[in-house]
Structure 1
Amino acid sequence: MSAAQATTPEQPDQVAARNEAAVRDAFANWSAGQGSVFDLLSPDITWTIHGSGPVAGTYNGVEAFLQRGAVPLTSRLARPLVPNLHAVWAVGNTVIIRFDAASTTTGGHPYRNQYVWIFRMENGAVVEAEAFLDLVAYDKVVAENQPRQP
């Protein structure tokens, strides 16, 4: 029997622990201003923002999500969002994250929101994501603030 045949498949709790660690590390780096949780996203991700309003919907591909889902908000913030991680739950390939994030808008007003993200991960990358947040607060920032100048 070869070494490859003797290798046992990874158990669900091992997968969950690995995925949770990757997400926690990404949030720690994001909080420290050394990267973003978006670094975990697969190029072919399917990201759904639940709710109603202009940004709600499903985005296919990382570029579609970033340009149409994230940039409308982040371009109107004077500095990057700073997340405050409250909890991470992982079961197999599913990771649920609850966090707050805050910044200041380009108009000088505070922005705060609460988030729950549900990730489905494969081989360390997020392939599907669902996001729950206060879309009224998101839409207000987009409507009332000008994007930063490049």
Structure 2
Amino acid sequence: MISALRKTPTLAQDIMIAAVFIIACWAAPTNASASPSSQLEGSNEVAVRDAFEKWTAGTGNVFDLLSPNIQWTIHGSGPVADTYSGIEDFLQRGAAPLVSRLTTALKPEVHHVWAVEDRVIIRFDAEATTTSGAPYRNQFVWIFRMEDGSVVEAEAFLDLVAYQGVIDNNEPRQQ
């Protein structure tokens, strides 16, 4: 029988398993010695989760986390794909064309939030009703770079065809 298929491990295999176990235990962080990086990840994740929960409940807005000097990039191709400098630029050129054509607020459904160092990644769907009465649904991945509890850089991935369809087929709300 082939030695790799033996049911009884060899001495070398036993030593290798023990070495991997010892290294894994030695290298694993403990709660008592949590690194500043993991604490930062945790606080950033909590802040973003809290903002999304409030947005979903209609009691807050995730955009409250944005730094006034944010760099927000919408990836893809189409008129809205661009990098926006500052919150006013993003809100006016990136968000307002869509939001002005919705009669209900976008309601997010968060599927997952990941935090790695100073980044928080959010995978969510959102839907609303357009001014023509049609539904708008989209899927999003946002990547935030956080500093001192604020989002200073954001990257957005979404279906820009669906976004542009709302712009092209709906009149803005009357102010």
Normalised by the shorter chain, which TM-score bucket? over 0.9
- TM (norm. structure 1) is 0.93
Q: Secondary structure at the match of 2:92?
A: helix
| Structure with the bigger percentage of strand | 1
Segments ≥4 residues shifted beyond 3 Å: none
2:153 is aligned to 128
Give 1:35 shift: 1.5
Q: Distance in 2 between matches of 1:99 and 1:107?
A: 24
Q: Which residue of 2 aligns with 1:21?
A: 46
Pairing of 1:47-86 with structure 2 (within 5 A): 47-86=72-111
Tell me the CA shift for residue 93 of structure 1.
0.7
TM-score using structure 2 length: 0.80
The structure carrying a bigger helix percent of its residues is 2
Bigger RCO of structures 1 and 2 (CA < 8 A, at least 6 apart):
1
**Correspondences of 1:1-150 after superposition (within 5 Å):** 11-150=36-175
SS of the residue 1:20 aligns to = helix
What is the percentage of aligned positions where both structures have the same residue?
67
Code of the aligned partner of 1:23:
V
Give the Å deviation of 1:22. 0.3
Runs of at least 5 residues in structure 1 that lack an aligned partner in the other structure? 1-9
Q: Distance in 2 between matches of 1:34 and 1:144?
A: 29
Cα distance in 2, alignment partners of residues 75 and 32 from structure 1: 21
**Could you list the per-position Cα deviations for residues 37-59 of structure 1 after superposition, in whole angstroms to 9, with x for gaps in the alignment?**
10000000000000000000100
**2 CA distance for matches of 1:64 and 1:113?**
22
Q: How many pairs align? A: 141
**1:5 aligned partner:** none
Give 1:91 shift.
Answer: 1.0
Aligned partners of 2:40, 2:81: CA distance in 1, in Å? 30
Find the residue that maps to 1:138 and give its secondary structure.
helix
Letter of the 1:34 counterpart? T
C-alpha RMSD over aligned residues? 0.7
